Every structure is written in structure tokens, then in C-alpha cells.
Structure 1
Amino acid sequence: MSIIYYHYNASEIRSGILHIGVGNFHRAHQQFYTNILLNDEDQKNWGICGVCLLPSDEKIVKNLRAQNLNYSLTVYGRNGEDEVYKIGSLKELIWGVEDPEAVVRKIADSSIKIITLTITEGGYNLDKESGKFILNDEKIQHDLNKPAIPATVFGFVAEGLRQRKMQGGDGVTILSCDNLQHNGNTAKRAFMAFIEAQDKDLAEWVEVHVTFPNSMVDRITPATTAEDIERLNKQNGTNDYAPVYCEDFAQWVIEDNFISGRPAWERVGVEFTDDVTAFENMKLSLLNASHTLLSYPAFLMGYRKVDQAMEDRDLVKFIRDFMDKDITPFVPAPENTDLEKYKETLIERFANHSVSDQVSRLCFDGVSKFPVYIIPNLDKMIKTGADLTRPAFLIASYRHYLKYKTDDQGNVFEIGEPWLTENDKQFVNSEEPQEFLELSAFKGVLLKDSEQFIKLYSRFVEEIKDAGTASVLQSIIK
């Protein structure tokens, strides 16, 4: 186990980036790249000011402040070679619940050139059916009145940009780091819809002075439990209240559209491109879709860790068949990318025992994940007459997971679906399986119009209930 310390003088670092959502992925990904880059003498203005906006962020804020915002990142190699990085790139940390005015002032500060976001797929407040911004949300309505203390990320950013405009400040780039297709376009649609409804003059300024590049991010980063903290500290000889661990693979591809400059991230492995589409299609359709495909069947079969599930040969074949037969025909590889090697690497990454991701994390918020990871390619499969066995089994498993909340062994569990609507809940509770296909997560495709899908799905619903998930999976992979 090698420990890698940063070599820059932390007192010389200045914040040029403001990041909203200081979770584990951000601290294992963007902070990782930036921490290495800050060792270069000409990059010292690209430290990161973290912003947390939720009451539930209190613990992470207090823990990081207790150790001068430094923390350890343990990178577990697939070859058994592990590294521990001391991360010091988090220069400031503001908790909006405690000091909302400080958040607004920092967004308005001309030294901030980039605002980055990890607010999750559901955080952009877009209707899953229409794709439109949900203006009638209670907190959004509150923020449209320009309150002194905003309630949403949209209210905070709009107020900060309004003050930046009034002060004659430079433009800024808003860079989404969330797992969304065309995440920059999504961020622009959401923020512009809010700002146009709140302040037409500001909206005109934003159109000229704010850019929203798309990006593709990739690094498996599990949640850190209390047991993980104890294990990491013992292993690393540290006393870290907020450690993070992740796999050794990392990728970040960004469209090079930064209105007020950017860090030289390309020096530390970040790829810049004119169009990120091919990269994000590959990642979302293979890695994220395969994670979703694995999640519900594996959880129902009793697996709680991804690496343990990957010891099941049936699940591995299920995933590999999905990659090869269902996804590859519709996903062109980006230039200079070996797609076969990429898929082989994905299987290795999922099976990394040292990372040991939670299956429950993959199951969380499926209603937001299906429209992004599964539905686009499923729509293509239906239109081209492809075999729908695997996606039909997945959706039947998802219904069983939501409706019965019991796995094959009879273990009862709680589900994590913060964005289920009241209509969704009625479809889940219905005894008629086809009503489940009206779920908001599936609005992008007419599943009921596919005779093949309905036949397979209906069969799997009954077989999972009667024989269990594992038995049905075995019949699929033969």
C-alpha cells in the first residue's frame, strides 16, 4: 500500500471552481484529477470551493471541517496494487443551510470560473414524460419570487449569477458531472427554464455569458459505511472522518467549451473533445445499463455486494449477453476505442472485490435511471425487431422488487425511490402486470405496443413470483 501526498503549498491555492454536491463520487473523481494537477506551478488558481445545500449534508461538512478539508482516497487496483491519495484540493466548504448568503456571494465572485455539479439524475427537476422543467414544484415556486434565502440549487445559482451580472463580472461555465445523456444540455434546459421564468433580463445575460459543456464521467465509487471508515483507517494508518474509496479505473471526457478558462486537466488524463456523444453513449449504454440490468435480479437473488453477484456465472453471462447482443449493435465505439476490451474491462471492474459496491446503490432511484440507461436502446431494439428477452426480464424483476419488497429467500427490504409519483405508486400496487408499464420511467417507449415484449414480460412476471428470480435467469441464459 503506497501513500501519495500532494506537493503543493495549500496556502497558495485559490478557488477557481465551485462544486455543488460534495459527495463520494465528486471526491473520488473531480477532486482526484484536480488534486494531482495542483502540483503544477501554473495551476494554483484552480482549487475547489465545495458547496452543500441539504440539511442531510451536516455530517460530511462537520467531518471535513474537523480535518481542515483534507481527506484520504483509497484507490483499489484490479491487480491487487492499491494506492492512498491525500487530497487537498478542496480549498473551501460552504454549507448553504448554515450560511446561504455565502453560497450566493461565492457564485457571484469573479474568481470562480467554473460551477460544477453532482446533484444526481433526479436533481434537475425535469418531468420524465415531457422533459420539461417542473415549475409548479413548491420549492421552485418559492424561489421564483427571488427570496433572500433560496430553497433550491436553481434559486442559489440564479441569485449568484444575478449578482455577478450586477457587479459586471465575467461569464462562467456550468459543468454537469452527473450520469446523464448530454448532461450539459440537460443542465442548460433546467437552469434556463427556471431563470427565464424568474428573470428575463438575467436569462438574456446567461445566454451570452454562461456555457454548458457536456461531459462523460466514470469511476465506480461505493458509499462509505461506518464499517468502511474503520477498515480504511486501520488499513491506511489514518484517522480520517471522511475517507473515500474507489476503483483504479477513471475516465472523464469533456467538450472544450469554457467561456472563462479552465484547468489543464488534460495533463492528468482528462480527455477533451468537440462532441462527447460517442463516449457517453458507450458508457451509459454499457456500464450504467449493465449496472441496472444486474441490480434488481441480483438483489432479488439475495446478493448485496456487486462483486459477490459477479461470482455467479449465470449473472455474468446474462450481463455479457446483454452487452454483446443487445447493446453493441446500437453503440458505435468512439474513435481509438477498442469496444471488446472496454466490455472485458467492465466485467473486471464489476468483479473487483476490493471495491465491493452495494447492489442497493445500483437499485436506488430506478425511476430516474431507466429513462437514461435502458429506455433509449430498448426503443431501438423494439423498432428493429431484436430479441427482447433480457430487458423484459429486467423490467419484470423491477416490478417484483418494487411491488413485493421481498427477495427469493424471503428477506424483506426497503426500497429507495425518492422520485416515484403518486400515479407510479398506483401502477406498482396494481395486480394487473401490464399497468406497471405505465410507470413514468418507461414513458420514452411504447412497451404495450410490442407483442414480443408483452409476451415475455408477462411470462417473467408470473415465473419470478412462482419459481424465484434465479430459476428464471437460468432459463434465459441457456
Structure 2
Amino acid sequence: MRLAAATLDALPPAIARPAYDRAGVTPGVIHLGIGAFHRAHQAVYLDDILARGETDWGIIAASLRSADTRDALAPQDGLYTIAVRSAAGESLRVIGAVGEVLVAPEDPERLIALLADPQIRIVTLTVTEKGYCHNPATGTLDETHPDILHDLKDLFQPRSAIGYLVAALAGRFSAGTPPFTIVSCDNLPSNGKTLKRVLDRFAALVSPELGAWVADEVSCPCSMVDRIVPATTEEDRARVAGALGAEDAWPVMTEPFTQWVLEDRFPNGRPDFGAVGVQLVEDVEPFEHMKLRLLNGAHSTIAYLGYLAGYPTVAETIADRNFARLVRALMDEDVTPTLAMPEGTDLTGYKDALIERFSNPALKHRTWQIAMDGSQKLPQRLLGTIRDRLAAGASIDRLALAVAGWMRYVTGTDENGDPIDIRDPMAARFAAVITEADGDSHQIARGLMAIREIFGTDLPADPRFTGPVIEALDRLFESGVKATVAAAAHGR
């Protein structure tokens, strides 16, 4: 039996399922970049919205590349299972908020037409950092990006998320239809402001009139999203199928914790987000910094150093006392002094919860998965903290070790001489640096730091940054990861 609308009633009573009539739901949201995170996060909040009776906020989702999610969910009428896992056990819930999944390259015109439909009032995005076609060091549109060059020449056959958004906004502009609000749910600093900057520039390149309208009328509120969502395995699928008594081609695994902080700027209307636990605020930036620097910065530190140490998952890495001690010191002594949180924020409780979440043995969050696309992640996860620490005249030794861990990882070979599968849009540039350096760790560090899209021009020229990073990379090569982490954890 396959999970689908017709088989919902046959599921065991313990399985939670949509508490509303899906036939009465109309779409008000289009999501670009459907993947596991969206289905474990925003779609769950909107499922709760629909259950409250706000039935005009269903989701149409679109993949901008692969047909895999559509092929998995279409036979299931968009239904899928979310498995919430902790050391205490697992609970299963079927989510019904996604009504249709499209594959954008198969029919770009249809997706643009749906985006231009007046009933769509919100567009959300999880397209990863690289999906914004921007320069991570400056937050501006990369006007040399191949997808951007293509979309400027052929706007109504776009490849990028930015191209689809502007093509649809152009249709709304021509028709006199108010624009949709666009919510970035990706881990970018000031993600709404970055999206707005990129969007405004692209629209202006299409036409000055469209650019002026987009700049004046389109709202891109910032948001902070937080939930750990590991990749689904075949073992996960089998376990979920056993509990459902039905096959689910693509369930999602996650943790009990979930958070969504959102600026309340929706000129064309929104659901009652506050009623389902979304924190509506005037300024997301403090919460963004908290999450990007504490959770994501720690995650990247764990990912590169943990992978190199031979630990396949976050939980296995943090179970090593030296790693746990290093990560907690990084959060307490390096990151926390750079944060300016609203009064009443319990940072100690947040950090305690992070260590507990990292330690969750049921999640099996792979270090290799987190390590992907490091060139897009380092600027906001680690380098922003480093800049603030340098401005304050403070030590960056632990942060430098995290950066050096990334450098050691992208050499493409682990401590046993085995190849590392580097997944990054700049992988070819890394390989060129590594080849030219010919095993010289100083040249590796200098070559990678010369990539301005990652490090800008300030950090490579500052010996307070380059010195500790080169020293840390030397130690990783000479002493190995575990010994280097142990020494750093104990202040040596």
C-alpha cells in the first residue's frame, strides 16, 4: 500500500494526519526549492495553519532542478511523513500542506504563471546559499553567474530562483497586480536584505521601470529558521513504512526542536503565523546572528574537523569530550561576546539546548552533509564572527582552527589518504590551489585565502587572521586532527 489521500484512513490510529479537508484548501504560498528542510519546517507550520481553518494558505512547491521530490510525492498526492526523533523515541505525522510539486525546467511558463496569479501572496525559498547567485563576501548579485547571464537574455525560460521571481513580478507589474511577499528561509546573514538587494539589481537590469517598481513595492522580510534535518536513508524509509503499514517514498527525519523568527512585513496579507508558534518580530538580525554563529558556526566546525577525525555523524563527533569542550568554548568565549540580543534572551539555555541537540543519537546527521558548499557558508557562519573579534582586539584561535579545518577538508584527501567527495560550486578552484601548492600547507592556506568571494580583501591582508589560520593548518597536517582538537580544547 502506498501513502496517498485514498489510504490515509487505513493508517494506524497512532499516526497523526491532516486535521482538515484537503479538498477545500486553495494555494496562497509557492515554495521554491522543495527539499527535506522545507518539508520539516515551513510546511509543518502551514499544515498547522490549515488545521486552524485558514484554508487559503496551501502550498504549491517547485523544484528548480531535480524531479526526484515530485516523482516521490506526486503518487502520494503530496502527502509525506515527518518523523520526529529523539533519544526518547520517534513520533510520526503525515503532512498535507503541499498540494502540488512542480519541476520548474519541465514547464517554466506554468510556474511563472502560477507565481503571477493574484491568489499567491507569499513566496518562500530554500534554495541554499548558492541559489541566490550572489557574491557571498559582498552580498551583491553576481552579474557574471552563468544562470544570471542566461536569465537576463531569456527571462521567461529562467534557470535561477531570481530569474523566476523577476519573471513573475514582471507579469504582475504589467497586469497591475500587487506583488507577493518573498521570504528567504536560507542561512544567509540578513537573508531578506540580501535577497532584496539581488532582486532589485536583477530587475533593474531587465528594465529601469520594473527595477523601480520592485525596489518600491516588493517586501522581503528577514527570517531565521532552525531545525536539524538529516538526509533520509533507506533504513529510515523502511522503518517509517513498517510503522505506517504503507510505503512513503520520501519521509523526512528531524528533531523535536523547531524555531521560525520572522519580520512582520507582509503588505499583501499573511496567515496567523503567531498562532502556530512563529515569532513575529521587528528585527530578525540578532536572532540570525545567534543561530548562524552559534548553531551553524558550531556545525561547520564539527563537520570539517569531525569528518577528518573519522566521525560520520555530529552525535559521534560531539561524544568525543575534546570536541564537545572545544565547541562549547567556541560558543561561550568566541561567539557570545559578538552577539547583541534583546533583553530576556536566554543565551545560556540556547547553547545548552544546542549541545543536547548535537548529541541526539537518533538523528544521524552526517558531517559530510553539513560540509557541502563551504565556500557559500563560511562568510556568515565563521568569518563574520572573526571580523567582529578582530575589531575588538580579541583572540580568534578556535575560529581559526575551524577555518583551517575547512582548508584541510578541501584538500580532497583525508588523514588515511582516502579521497574526500568535495561538493562545492568552487571545487575546481580549490583543486587548482591544492595542485599548485604541491603539499605546502602555507601555500594551501595563502591560495585559499586569496579567493575574494569567500574571504574578501580585508582578512587575507590582516596578519591577525592569516597567522593563526596558517598555524592551525600546520598543526592539522603535522599532528593530526584529534591531537590538534585535544590541544585546542585544553588551551594548548
TM-score bracket for the superposition, by shorter chain length: over 0.9
Matched, 1:170 2:183: no
Residue 136 of structure 1, CA deviation: 2.6
What corresponds to 1:44 in structure 2?
Answer: 55
Q: Say yes or no: does 1:291 pair with 2:291.
A: no
- Kindly indicate whether residue 22 of structure 2 is the aligned counterpart of residue 10 of structure 1: yes
Aligned pair partner of 1:73 in 76, 79, 82? 82
Identity %: 33
Moved more, 407-416 or 243-252: 407-416
The answer to whether the Cα contact below 8 Å between 1:94 and 1:102 also exists between their aligned partners in 2 is: no
The letter of the residue matching 2:246 is: T
Q: Give 1:413's aligned residue.
A: 420
Q: 1:150 to 1:231 in 2, by over 3 A?
A: same
Q: Which whole-Å deviations, capped at 9, do the CAs of 1:288-340 have from their partners, x for residues lacking one?
A: 11101111111110011111111111100010000011011111233332111
Work out the CA distance in 2 between the residues paired with 1:2 and 1:249.
Answer: 21
1:272-421 equivalences in 2 (<5 Å): 272-403=280-411, 405-420=412-427
- Listed as ranges, the matches of 1:61-460 within 5 Å are 61-78=70-87, 80-403=88-411, 405-420=412-427, 422=429, 424-429=430-435, 430=437, 431=440, 432=443, 433-439=445-451, 440-443=453-456, 445-451=458-464, 453-460=465-472
Query: What code does the residue aligned with 1:427 have?
Result: V
Give 1:2 shift. Answer: 4.5
Give the conservation status (yes or no) of the 8 Å contact 2:227–2:254. yes
- How many angstroms apart in 1 are the aligned matches of 2:270 and 2:354? 30
Cα distance, 1:383 vs structure 2? 2.4
Change (3 A) 1:128 1:227: same
1:216–1:254 contact (8 Å) kept in structure 2? yes
Match of 2:10 in 1: none
How far apart in 2 are the matches of 1:130 and 1:326? 23
Distance 2:207 2:154 in 1: 9
- Residue type of the alignment partner of 1:67: Q
Determine if contact 1:17/1:112 at 8 Å carries over to the other structure: yes
Amino acid at match of 2:267: I
Structure 1 residue runs without a partner (length 5+):
none
Match of 1:53 in 2: 64
Tell me if structure 2 keeps the 8 A contact 1:179–1:284.
yes
Which is worse superposed, 291-300 or 200-209?
200-209
Alpha-carbon contact 1:297-1:394 (below 8 Å) kept: yes
- Counterpart of 1:29 in structure 2 is 41
Deviations 1:75-103 (A, max 9, x none): 1135x143211100001222212221110
- CA drift of 1:281 comes to 1.1
The TM-score, its normalising length taken from structure 2, stands at 0.91
- Conserved in 2, the CA contact under 8 Å of 1:285 and 1:327? yes
Whole-Å Cα distance in 1 between the matches of residues 479 and 43 of structure 2? 47
Give the secondary-structure state (helix, strand or coil) at the position aligned to 1:4: coil
AA in 2 matched with 1:23: G
In the TM superposition, what whole-angstrom CA distance separates every residue of 1:132-151 from its partner, at most 9, and x where no partner exists?
A: 21223333222213444222
Q: Which runs of 4+ in 1 moved over 6 A?
A: none
Measured in 2, the distance between the counterparts of 1:31 and 1:335 equals: 30
- Structure 1 counterpart of 2:475: 463
C-alpha offsets along residues 119-163 of structure 1, whole Å, 9 cap, x if unaligned? Answer: 111111112344321223333222213444222222222221122
Q: Secondary structure at the match of 1:222?
A: coil
SS in 1 for 2:229: coil
Matching residue's letter, 1:44: T
In structure 2, what is the Cα distance between the partners aligned to 1:235 and 1:365? 35
**Partner in structure 1 of residue 9 of structure 2:** none
- Paired residues of 2:131 and 2:160 also in contact (CA < 8 A): no
CA RMSD of aligned residues (A): 1.8
Q: How many residues align?
A: 471
1:427-478, CA deviations, whole angstroms, 9 ceiling, x for partnerless residues? 3442313333223322264244234x44433333222222211011111122
Distance 1:147 1:193, change over 3 A: closer
Do 2:80 and 2:251's aligned partners in 1 also have CA atoms closer than 8 Å? yes
Structure 1's 392 and 15: CA in aligned 2 closer, same or farther, altered over 3 A? same
Structure 1 residue 227: deviation in Å?
A: 3.0
What CA distance in whole angstroms lies between the structure 1 residues aligned with 2:434 and 2:344?
44
| Whole-angstrom distance in 1 between the partners of 2:457 and 2:272 | 38
Aligned to 2:91, the other structure's residue is in SS state strand
User: How far 1:235 sits from its partner (Å)?
Assistant: 4.2
Q: State the Cα distance separating 1:232 from its structure 2 match.
A: 2.7
Which amino acid is the alignment partner of residue 214 of structure 2?
V
Letter in 1 for 2:69: I
- CA–CA separation in structure 2 for the residues paired with 1:388 and 1:209: 42
For residues 15-66 of structure 1, what are the alpha-carbon distances to aligned partners after superposition, in whole Å with 9 as ceiling and x for unaligned?
000110110000000001111121122x100001111121xx2121111001
How far off is 1:420 after superposition? 4.5
Shift in CA distance, 449/168, structure 1 to aligned 2, threshold 3 Å: closer
Following superposition, the deviation at residue 236 of structure 1 comes to 4.3
**For the residues of structure 2 that align with 1:64 and 1:139, how far apart are their CA atoms?**
27
**3-state secondary structure, aligned to 1:22:** coil
Q: Does the CA contact (< 8 Å) of 1:375 and 1:445 recur in 2?
A: no
Does structure 2 conserve the Cα–Cα contact (< 8 Å) formed by 1:77 and 1:247? yes
Q: CA deviation at 1:196?
A: 0.5
- For 1:446 and 1:51, locate their aligned partners in 2 and report how far apart those are by CA, in whole Å: 38
1:126 and 1:418 map into 2 onto residues whose CA distance is: 12
Tell me, yes or no, if the aligned pair for 2:459 and 2:466 is still in contact at 8 Å.
Answer: no
Secondary structure of the corresponding residue to residue 19 of structure 1 = strand
- Larger deviation, residues 211-220 vs 166-175: 166-175
Q: Is the 8 A contact 1:382 1:450 kept in 2?
A: no
Q: Is the 8 A contact 2:74 2:100 kept in 1?
A: no
SS at match of 1:211: coil
Shift of 1:343: 0.3
Q: Any stretches of 5+ residues in structure 2 without a counterpart?
A: 1-12
